[in-house]
Chains A and B, each alone.
Chain A
Amino acid sequence: MQITVNTSACVGAGQCVMTAEDLFDQDDDGIVMLLDDSPDSSHEAGARRAASLCPARAIKVTD
């Protein structure tokens, strides 16, 4: 599984960190920071949930 984030679309809502804090963090401006771009499959549900709740659709999860 591969995760990418589009930091220029990110609105700093922090939904991703709330949903999967082992995968995402925020910088001081609230912009998403990806902690792990290719986590193992145990993180898949969390990653997909974070992507689906990101209001800016800034997170993409691909196989």
Chain B
Amino acid sequence: MSVEINVTGEVVTAYLSGELDHHTAKEMRESIDLAVELNMPTLLVLDFGNISFMDSSGIGLVMGRYRNLLKTGAQLHIANAPPQIYKVMRLAGLERLAKLERKGENNGNNQ
């Protein structure tokens, strides 16, 4: 499990990798929140391209970041969601909170 942060202008991108469950969520959440706190982005991109597994703990993580971003009016994008992860996200209706992009759908944006 790891989080790599990239800051470009007002965009913070968090590249998540490994398995996202209750065991790993806390550390991922803390890395993302620290980057948001330090950079005050207008857009946070969560890149799930290298996430190999996710359950509802990942939904909780996305919903929690969405709630935090509401305070500053920043946007949330989910990029590169692999099929299994996309399925869980759609079940949760995350497309109502964030722009939701499947893996292979982003045509080189958000990179």
Binding partners A and B: no
State the A residues within 8 Å of B (CB): none
State the B residues within 8 Å of A (CB): none
